[in-house]
């Protein structure tokens, strides 16, 4: 079968190549299914994994891809009811291939109103937004919420969810095109920033949702009102400067780490509940597909991600 395979870790992604005759996955055992993959979505952890820069390091060689969609074409004992269904898939890797065998317990039906491409790009962003804003960030209706990277795949869905939850949203991005995506997602206010020397004049923010970090960190800490919460989602812009602890003390600010997928692995019941919550709100968190490419062009897709040239999400057609 055709598959994108990473054989060596490399900053320039030279270890990633398309294989036309990669071995087929094993036949599904009890409780397992075989899925013909339709689409796989790119996420920043996928990009880091190819370079060895992510906390989860699969054994080489490995097939990248952590979320996607497909159709169940074979099923083991106990999973026969999934046969023929269009499903959303999640895995720690392996979805950039024509077929994959995995436990049926991780499947979810494609939500009504979403295309296969949109559903492939839905879960990681929506789950992180839910855990970051609702579970860890304790968002309340009427609060002022600031979202960075608001035109990217993660930030835009956070804008949508925060608006849906009744918050007043300030969307921060580094280009007018991405600010427009944030406006379309419902942002009440937008702010264009230079990622290298950002300036944020706000001092009335209750909750920050930040997948960017880097030079934004200290300005974001300063923008919080007394008792504000800063949810740390990721480091697309780098780790940033150390946060002065006296500022946290004086303003009683909380820094809150968010690892949505890991939370579900550590607490499966909570993870299942989170999935139900986001699937019920899928039409309110519809991803914007800014780039869609065939499997043979996956290196170009990852290069675009690394250069920050993707507005919204990138999806690979398998």
Q: Is residue 100 part of a domain?
A: yes
Q: Which domain holds residue 224?
A: 125-261
pLDDT band at 195 (very low <50, low <70, confident <90, very high): confident
Lookup: tokens for 178: 């991405």
Q: Does 84 share its domain with 195?
A: no
Mean pLDDT taken over the chain: 94
**Pairing of β 99-103 and β 86-90:** unpaired
Angle at 294 between CA 292 and CA 300, to 5 degrees: 75
Q: How many domains does the chain have?
A: 2
Q: What is the pLDDT of residue 152?
A: 86
**Interval 54-68 mean pLDDT:** 92
User: Is the pLDDT confidence value at 236 over 90?
Assistant: no
Query: How do residues 121-130 score in pLDDT, each as one tens digit?
Result: 999 999 999 9
Q: What is the pLDDT of residue 262?
A: 85
Q: Is residue 196 part of a domain?
A: yes
pLDDT band at 44 (very low <50, low <70, confident <90, very high): confident
Q: Does 49 share its domain with 158?
A: no
Q: Does 182 share its domain with 110?
A: no
Query: How do residues 260-291 score in pLDDT, each as one tens digit?
Result: 888 888 888 989 999 999 999 998 999 999 99
Lookup: tokens for 71: 């159709």
Q: Does 118 share its domain with 188?
A: no
Q: What is the pLDDT of residue 179?
A: 94
Q: Does 214 share its domain with 113?
A: no
**Pairing of β 3-6 and β 16-19:** antiparallel
Lookup: tokens for 217: 């960190």
Q: What is the pLDDT of residue 308?
A: 81
Q: Does 72 share its domain with 83?
A: yes
Q: What is the DSSP string of 234-277?
A: --TT---SPPPHHHHHHHT-EEEE--HHHHHHH-HHHHHHHHHH
User: Is the pLDDT confidence value at 166 over 90?
Assistant: yes
Q: Does 114 share its domain with 135?
A: no
Q: Does 8 share its domain with 117?
A: yes
User: Is the pLDDT confidence value at 309 over 90?
Assistant: no
Q: Does 254 share its domain with 293?
A: no
Q: What is the pLDDT of residue 180?
A: 94
Q: Is residue 189 part of a domain?
A: yes
Q: Is residue 274 part of a domain?
A: no
Q: Does 77 share its domain with 168?
A: no
Q: Is 118 helix (H, G, I), strand (E, B) or coil?
A: helix
Percent of the chain whose predicted confidence (pLDDT) is above 70:
100
Q: Does 71 share its domain with 164?
A: no
CATH number at residue 191: 3.90.180.10
Q: What is the pLDDT of residue 261?
A: 83
Rounded to whole angstroms, the Cα distance separating 75 from 104 reads 8
Between 176-184 and 153-164, two packed helices, what is the crossing angle to 10 degrees? 30
Q: Is residue 232 part of a domain?
A: yes
Q: Does 112 share its domain with 145?
A: no
Rounded to whole angstroms, the Cα distance separating 214 from 100 reads 36
Q: Is residue 271 part of a domain?
A: no
Q: Is residue 130 part of a domain?
A: yes
Q: Is residue 50 part of a domain?
A: yes
Q: Which residues make Cβ contacts (< 8 Å) with residue 215, sequence separation at least 6?
A: 195, 196, 197, 198, 237, 238, 240, 241
């Amino acid at each position: 079968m055709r598959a994108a395979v990473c054989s060596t870790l490399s900053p320039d992604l030279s270890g990633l190549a398309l294989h036309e005759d990669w071995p087929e996955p094993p036949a599904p055992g009890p409780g397992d299914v075989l899925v013909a993959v339709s689409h796989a979505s790119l996420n920043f952890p996928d990009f880091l994994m190819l370079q060895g820069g992510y906390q989860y390091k699969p054994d080489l060689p490995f097939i990248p891809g952590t979320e996607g969609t497909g159709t169940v074409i074979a099923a083991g004992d106990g999973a026969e009811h999934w046969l023929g269904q269009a499903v959303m898939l999640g895995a720690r890797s392996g979805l950039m291939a024509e077929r994959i065998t995995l436990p049926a317990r991780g499947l979810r039906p494609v939500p009504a109103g979403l295309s296969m491409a949109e559903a492939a790009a839905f879960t990681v962003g929506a789950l992180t937004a839910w855990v970051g804003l609702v579970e860890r960030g304790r968002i309340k209706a009427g609060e002022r919420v600031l979202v960075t990277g608001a035109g990217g795949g993660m930030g835009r869905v956070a804008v949508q969810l925060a608006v849906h939850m009744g918050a007043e949203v300030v969307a921060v991005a580094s280009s007018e095109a991405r600010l427009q995506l944030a406006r379309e997602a419902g942002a009440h206010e937008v702010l264009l920033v230079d990622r290298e020397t950002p300036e944020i004049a706000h001092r009335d923010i209750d909750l920050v949702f930040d997948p960017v970090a880097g030079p934004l960190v200290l300005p974001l800490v300063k923008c919080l009102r007394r008792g504000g919460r800063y949810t740390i989602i990721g480091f697309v812009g780098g780790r940033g400067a150390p946060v002065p602890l006296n500022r946290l003390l004086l303003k009683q600010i909380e820094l809150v780490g968010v690892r949505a997928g890991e939370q579900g692995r550590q607490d499966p019941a909570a993870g299942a509940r989170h999935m139900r919550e986001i699937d019920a709100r899928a039409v309110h968190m519809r991803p914007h597909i800014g780039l869609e490419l065939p499997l043979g062009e996956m290196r170009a897709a990852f290069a675009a991600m690394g250069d920050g040239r993707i507005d919204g999400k990138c999806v690979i057609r398998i």
